[in-house]
Chains A and B, each alone.
Chain A
């Protein structure tokens, strides 16, 4: 097996420069693996012809699971037999993407044995992606992985692998235990994750605060965003240090407050807490001086997704504040109610956010046993065209 089985003049141009090169990485794998070598060959052809050479996934997987493996086949298998089958295996990552060398080395050894030696750390949803193996390697690969404590992630119309930010593991702004909530929900919903039973995919992401480093409000059907209800605690001595250090507090902090609830007279920083919308700007800029205080919990939002079919959606508020303590039964109950309603009314390939648009918030809120409150909307409706129910009339 030679490293240069294919001439790759186009891809070779992507090996220089300061950013680490994916082409170099494919070549490293290709030095040891025929499939990786053929991947290099087919990718060069894609770059030359400016089109993809992959076909739709077929149904492949491991016994007892309906997801976790994405079937992938080349449309030029005769030219590149090593990637005739080149399936993706999703391995459920740890909460917050924390690893040890020992665990990662073990996964690398297993993957070199059963697959191409190529990976994604990580996929868009959060899984570790093992990129490229053949159908008959799937069962032994799964036996090796699962016997060492690893399980597959989700694919298809199921609860997708939940994901979260670094949270209380290494962030002073974490207002809910993102790592634990993520782990707990993942364990609680194993059946929903491995055996697709929903109208479409359902993604759950947990962010520790409104900075939302995990992009939960943009990319999760259920967005859990840490927040607080108390005042912002101010350490005036630290405020002075920021000022002495050259920070223009009025321009950089007070002037950028969206609710204009702050003031600074050059001596004392004040916050009008009842008018603060908890956007996190001031806290992130003056982390030594400003701290949120309890009670802590999360804002629960629902419905974000990419553009298909009705256009991209952001998640919207359904529970402004939910206390979150193990075993998180309040959150799990709400999720179950949402799923039941979606399961009952959702069409094939309809995300829950789209279903809410189609059938209306009232029906969704009633199904979830939530009362309407102003925090759910930017503004009330403008038109007079609304419904009444029998029991609301005389």
Chain B
């Protein structure tokens, strides 16, 4: 690189967001009166001033090329004076100040095969992690699962079909859960099912023994001073892989036993009921690449039961709590196993201490 580089700067932080707000937002900042959904992928926000801001939302796979971004900016230049944003669920939003440009924008997006939607009571984009694209601890892929699930449930994204309330999906490729799937309506989490293998030489060279021991939630790891390594009590290990994140010499991946678990019934936000964790629904499904058909059909099964049983505005977890988990397993025909009964830190809280339940 022969050309001269510009002067680097440090600790400047991100640019000021104010430099990226369209004039209609600057003029109505903090003074929005209401908004209305216009279609599955468009809405209007109206300020107290009467000003209108139109938003058109499209799906993004999150893992995108610079050319994908340039396509978006070209569209934003044409219809939005160059103003666009992304949502917390990785969708793209075109911010249109001129009402007459909304329909032409929608027409161009349709023609270019963008998936328009993500607004309202349906399924928005899936929050997810890196998976096999970029992570050392991934027990499954993330982008692949997102693709097959979003293809399957496209109608709930575009608004062609609606659900009783929003259903937020998430994919985490290991139990580290960078994707925070633990409070989602339905989510996939990559899991292992066998204890890590100990590479004695590697532990000696690359690992700090005390932090490796401390990383284990069940106290399965103890020191092995003779070998300057560690010992693992296999019967105490629940294969979380946290030790592998701390010590690379404890590989845990095993293609024939790795796969995913399905959890459901979580939510964020305090609307109607407190935020809640997702709970285990299916303890294991295989990594049947490239399309994970067992995962897709399990999601379909849960959604079908929810759609049939929930009342309007009731989130999946609220519906399950109303009918009871015993009814949920009956309606979905999902087998209930030893793995479903908690034996970790909050186990006792989850045992039924009442003789009132349903058959």
Contact = CB atoms under 8 A, between A and B. Distances in A.
Contacts of A111: 66
A103 interface: yes
B63 A118 contact: yes
A157 to B, nearest CB: 12
Nearest to A187: B13
A310 B218 CA distance: 9
A172 B53 contact: no
Contacts of A5: none
Nearest to B318: A256
A121 B132 contact: no
A284 to B, nearest CB: 6
B353 interface: no
Given A143-B8, A311-B344, A215 B14 contact: no
A88 to B, nearest CB: 7
A252 B312 contact: yes
A50 B286 CA distance: 10
B344 A11 contact: no
B346 A311 contact: yes
Interface string B124-138: 000101111111111
Task: Report which residue of B11, B82, B135 has the largest number of chain A beta carbons within 10 angstroms of its beta carbon.
Answer: B11
A19 B148 CA distance: 8
B86 interface: yes
Contact of B211 (A10, A13, A96, A348): A348
B250 to A, nearest CB: 11
Given A147-B6, A172-B45, A28 B68 contact: yes
B188 interface: no
Contact of B15 (A28, A150, A213, A314): A150
A133 interface: no
A50 B289 contact: yes
B132 A43 contact: yes
B85 A49 contact: no
Contact of A39 (B14, B133, B245, B289): B133
Task: Report which residue of B13, B65, B135, B143 has the largest number of chain A beta carbons within 10 angstroms of its beta carbon.
Answer: B65
User: What's the interface size class on B, roughly?
Assistant: 35 or more
B272 A50 contact: no
Interface string B233-268: 000000010100110100001110010000000001
A112 B66 CA distance: 7
A214 B277 CA distance: 16
Given A47-B132, A306-B180, A14 B64 contact: no
A284 B271 contact: yes
A76 interface: no
A251 B115 CA distance: 33
Contacts of B177: 306-307, 312
A21 B114 CA distance: 11
A118 B13 CA distance: 23
B12 interface: yes
A169 interface: yes
B303 interface: no
B40 to A, nearest CB: 13
A121 B62 contact: yes
A171 interface: yes
Contacts of B268: 212, 215, 217-218
Given A54-B135, A100-B82, A280 B271 contact: yes
Nearest to A247: B312
A366 B275 CA distance: 27
Given A98-B21, A348-B214, A210 B269 contact: yes
A48 B69 CA distance: 30
A101 B86 contact: no
Nearest to B216: A309
A338 interface: no
B147 interface: yes
Given A112-B66, A117-B65, A20 B60 contact: yes
Contacts of A13: 290-291
Contacts of A86: 134
A337 interface: no
Contacts of A214: 88
A252 B87 CA distance: 27
A11 B61 CA distance: 15
A64 interface: yes
Contacts of B74: 101
B5 interface: yes
Given A56-B136, A119-B64, A144 B11 contact: no
A312 B182 contact: yes
Given A144-B6, A280-B270, A288 B180 contact: no
A54 B173 CA distance: 13
A256 B15 CA distance: 42
A104 interface: yes
Contact of B175 (A118, A146, A171, A308): A308
A379 B146 CA distance: 40
Interface string B34-60: 110000000001000000010100011
Interface string B333-344: 000000000001
Given A100-B82, A103-B15, A348-B214, A218 B275 contact: yes
Interface in B273-303: 273, 275, 277, 287, 289-291
22 contacts: A19-B61, A20-B115, A22-B133, A49-B255, A51-B258, A57-B136, A64-B10, A72-B134, A98-B17, A105-B73, A109-B66, A120-B130, A166-B85, A170-B45, A179-B17, A194-B11, A251-B312, A280-B269, A285-B313, A306-B180, A307-B177, A312-B177
